[in-house]
């Protein structure tokens, strides 16, 4: 049974609460004066000595200027006068570092030049001591009586203003920052990463919210940036922070929702449960987050769709490790990371054949490793269709089916599946990307680019839609998007080699040196260091065209050795090298190997010099016939 409270189920999770302590809360922090501890989101932060005492004094006199002389008198002994300036500077600097504050744009501690400091953030709750209470109580009573009189007489329209509705700020968009791993074992980092992604996946279903993708929020793991700045960078007004702690097969999740512009706390809770109920527990978190802001909307629809059955514990562990391994693949481990992810997802499926999302993740990561087996397409199609059968309401499965239908040139069906995915999960960036591609291939270019824009807003750190940008001549835009992504994930090989990636974008933009460098980097990031070095030599010694000829030969060799089946790239690279015969040979091989179409083959600029050749014209006719068989 799941409980939304601080349940005591083991020594690790006994709440550290004492009724006699004096605690001051501000922002995401709690200062326990008697215990001498500062906590952020319940996590103890190292802050001792003079910085802690300065914070205590500033909080106790929040809104007032505390002079340098007052701080010196209370904290520094008389015999340390000579070192006071240096000591005070270092203490304030340390304090600001801990709070994520700055002197130029302070959120908590304001410097009053030549005088002292002032605490400027609101204090959300405070428990104070009971000493000297008579005078304050009398003063408060007098003040209350004055307010009552002013209210009754409606002086300055006070009564009208007080009785007027004072709604909280409306939250239209959310970003889930990476959940902190509070487990004692650092190897459990995969667990916190996976649970962050699952929380985002569930919240993406809410039609009244824009939710930012995990690809874009991962950069803020352990960030010291102020929340308002993070919100501005992501284009959101709501931030979710939290933590995950696992002890054996027990789990605790803590989370809080913050209105970011002024760091106003809107909701917070902690949840305890068994590992086997982890996904259900995470859905409870998502549901209560949305319920906390539901009064802002007129929506009466269920918060989240009914979920499929929860997987077994072992399957869940392997699934979460697979998600984390895939992330390491995009972060630089390349093929090894993707292969590890494939292994984990296959294990999860073997342990629980009804785990629909594991099939989808297996299909996704198989397409990302760029060392695809020859039977890749049947494997992916099988995984997607099994996921849909197990969970017809799974948005990611409809995206997978849309991509498969696009591979068969059935763009009308692909667009319909992408729209269904968007209906089920409006903030799923990959669904908008799939819809964009389907629309673009049917000639609806403006609508396609509008979907690309939506995908980019939902995942500002990703590179969804770059193939559509490049297909529509928006080379500089694609390059800017890809470079921004690489600032977050500098070792993501897919950003270089994917359709519309940096190799393509630079090539069509006429930036040959940059394209050659991207080609070298793509080879290297996928573990082919020798080929990467070969590209560098080819460009330096023989020029731009030779970099593609060399790469095509290397890809062809790997193909004959049964190690790589990227025949479309072989044909494309030979075409860019100006080798007509080899380009035609590998175009034909592509159609023989794979039962999929090459949408818009006749319009691809790489093959423009082949259009007068009868062999190319026959391939185009074959492409058209294949499209007609599937309804396009």
CA-to-CA separations, 67 to 8, 94, 111, 118, 247, in angstroms, rounded: 44, 19, 10, 9, 47
**pLDDT surpassing 60 at residue 384:** yes
**pLDDT surpassing 90 at residue 356:** yes
The two three-digit tokens of residue 403, written as one number: 């991509």
For 115-130, give the DSSP string: TEEEE-SPEEEE----
Q: What angle do CA 263, 269, 271 make, to 5 degrees?
A: 145
Average pLDDT over residues 540-557: 96
Q: Which of 76-90, 199-213, 358-372, 440-454 has the highest mean pLDDT?
A: 440-454
Position 47 confidence tier, pLDDT thresholds 50, 70, 90: confident
Q: Do the strands 173-176 and 238-247 form a parallel or antiparallel pair, or are they unpaired? A: parallel
Helix axes 84-99, 68-75, angle to 10 degrees: 100
Average pLDDT over residues 395-403: 95
Average pLDDT over residues 263-278: 83
How confident is the model at residue 30, as a pLDDT? Answer: 85
**pLDDT surpassing 70 at residue 219:** yes
Residue 243 dihedral angles phi and psi, to the nearest 5°: -150, 160
**pLDDT surpassing 80 at residue 595:** no
All domains in the chain, ordered by first residue: 22-126 (1.10.10.10), 173-310 (3.40.50.10610), 463-527 (1.25.40), 530-632 (no CATH)
Average pLDDT over residues 253-270: 87
How confident is the model at residue 15, as a pLDDT? Answer: 33
Helices marked H in 352-465 — which ranges? 356-368, 376-390, 395-407, 411-424, 429-441, 445-458
Lowest mean pLDDT among 385-394, 395-404, 521-530, 577-586: 521-530
How confident is the model at residue 27, as a pLDDT? Answer: 77
Q: Which of 578, 582, 586, 584 is nearest to 615 (CA)?
A: 584
Position 425 confidence tier, pLDDT thresholds 50, 70, 90: very high
Q: How far apart are CA 356 and CA 262, in angstroms?
A: 40
Q: Which pLDDT tens digit goes with each residue over 70-83?
A: 888 888 765 444 46
Q: Give the global pTM.
A: 0.73
**Residue pair 574/606 in contact by the 8 Å Cβ criterion:** no
How confident is the model at residue 265, as a pLDDT? Answer: 84
Q: Which residues lie across from 243 on neighbouring strands?
A: 180, 254
Position 155 confidence tier, pLDDT thresholds 50, 70, 90: low
**Residue pair 28/241 in contact by the 8 Å Cβ criterion:** yes
Give the residue, 34 or 9, on which the prediction is more confident: 34
**pLDDT surpassing 50 at residue 550:** yes
The two three-digit tokens of residue 117, written as one number: 């400091």
**pLDDT surpassing 80 at residue 583:** yes
Residue 140 dihedral angles phi and psi, to the nearest 5°: -65, -40
The two three-digit tokens of residue 576, written as one number: 């860019």
How confident is the model at residue 11, as a pLDDT? Answer: 29
**pLDDT surpassing 80 at residue 136:** no
Q: How far apart are CA 382 and CA 79, in angstroms?
A: 78
Q: Which of 556, 548, 572, 570 is nearest to 500 (CA)?
A: 572
Q: Return the percentage of the chain with pLDDT > 70, whole number.
A: 81
Lowest mean pLDDT among 128-132, 350-354, 461-465, 489-493: 128-132
How confident is the model at residue 8, as a pLDDT? Answer: 26
Q: Which pLDDT tens digit goes with each residue over 292-333?
A: 776 554 445 555 666 666 788 889 889 989 988 888 766 655
How confident is the model at residue 622, as a pLDDT? Answer: 77
**pLDDT surpassing 60 at residue 418:** yes
Phi-psi domain of 370 (left: phi exceeds 0; alpha: psi -120 through 50; beta: other):
left
The two three-digit tokens of residue 494, written as one number: 């897919």
The separation between the first and the last C-alpha atoms of the chain, rounded to the nearest angstrom, is 52
């Amino acid at each position: 049974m799941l409980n939304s409270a601080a349940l005591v189920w083991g020594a690790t999770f006994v709440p550290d609460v004492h009724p006699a302590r004096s605690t001051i809360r501000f922002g995401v922090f709690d200062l326990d004066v008697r215990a001498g501890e500062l906590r952020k989101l319940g996590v103890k932060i190292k802050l001792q000595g003079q910085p802690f005492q300065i914070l205590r004094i500033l909080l106790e006199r929040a809104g007032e200027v505390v002079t340098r002389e007052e701080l010196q008198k209370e904290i520094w002994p008389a015999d340390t006068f000579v070192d006071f300036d240096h000591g005070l500077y270092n203490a304030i600097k340390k304090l600001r570092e801990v709070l994520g504050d700055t002197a130029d744009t302070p959120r908590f501690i304001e410097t009053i030049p030549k005088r002292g400091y002032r605490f400027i953030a609101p204090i959300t709750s405070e428990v104070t001591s009971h000493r000297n209470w008579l005078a304050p109580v009398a003063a408060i009573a007098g003040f209350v009586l004055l307010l009552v009189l002013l209210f009754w007489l409606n002086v300055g329209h006070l009564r009208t203003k007080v009785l007027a509705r004072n709604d909280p700020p409306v939250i239209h968009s959310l970003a889930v920052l990476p959940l902190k791993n509070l487990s004692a074992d650092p190897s459990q980092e995969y667990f916190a990463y996976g649970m962050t992604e699952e929380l985002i996946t569930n919240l993406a279903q809410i039609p009244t919210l824009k939710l930012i993708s995990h690809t874009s929020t991962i950069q803020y793991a352990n960030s010291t940036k102020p929340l308002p700045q993070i919100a501005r960078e992501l284009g959101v007004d709501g931030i979710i922070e939290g933590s995950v702690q696992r002890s054996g097969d027990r789990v605790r999740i803590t989370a809080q929702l913050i209105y970011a512009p002024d760091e106003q706390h809107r909701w917070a809770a902690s949840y305890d449960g068994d590992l086997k109920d982890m996904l259900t527990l995470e859905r409870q978190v998502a549901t209560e987050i949305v319920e906390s802001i539901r009064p802002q909307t007129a929506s009466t629809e269920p918060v989240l769709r009914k979920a499929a059955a929860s997987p077994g514990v072992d399957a869940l562990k392997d699934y979460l490790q697979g998600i984390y391994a895939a992330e390491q693949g995009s972060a630089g481990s390349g093929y090894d990371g993707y292969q590890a992810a494939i292994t984990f997802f296959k294990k999860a499926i073997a342990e629980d054949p009804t785990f629909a999302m594991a099939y989808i993740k297996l299909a996704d990561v198989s397409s990302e490793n760029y060392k695809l087996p020859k039977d890749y397409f049947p494997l992916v199609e099988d995984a997607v269709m099994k996921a849909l059968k197990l969970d017809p309401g799974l948005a990611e499965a409809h995206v997978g089916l849309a991509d498969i239908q696009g591979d068969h040139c059935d763009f009308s069906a692909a667009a319909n599946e992408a729209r269904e995915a968007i209906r089920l999960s409006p903030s799923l960036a990959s669904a908008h990307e799939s819809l964009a591609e389907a629309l673009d291939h049917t000639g609806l270019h403006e609508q396609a680019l509008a979907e690309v824009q939506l995908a980019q807003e939902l995942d500002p750190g990703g590179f969804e839609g770059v193939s559509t940008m490049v297909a529509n001549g928006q080379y500089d835009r694609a390059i800017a998007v890809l470079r921004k992504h690489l600032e977050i994930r500098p070792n993501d090989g897919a950003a270089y080699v994917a359709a519309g990636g940096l190799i393509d974008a630079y090539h069509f933009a006429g930036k040959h040196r940059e394209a050659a460098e991207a080609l070298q980097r793509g080879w290297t990031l996928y573990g082919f260091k020798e080929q990467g070095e070969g590209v560098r030599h080819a460009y330096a010694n023989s020029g731009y065209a030779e970099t593609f000829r060399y790469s095509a030969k290397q890809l062809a060799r790997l193909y004959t050795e049964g190690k790589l089946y990227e025949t479309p790239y072989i044909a494309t690279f030979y075409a860019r090298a100006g080798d007509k015969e080899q380009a035609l040979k590998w175009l034909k091989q592509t159609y023989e190997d794979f039962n999929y179409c090459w949408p818009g083959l006749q319009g691809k600029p790489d093959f423009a010099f082949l259009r007068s050749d009868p062999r190319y014209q026959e391939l185009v006719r074959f492409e058209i016939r294949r499209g007609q068989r599937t309804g396009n």
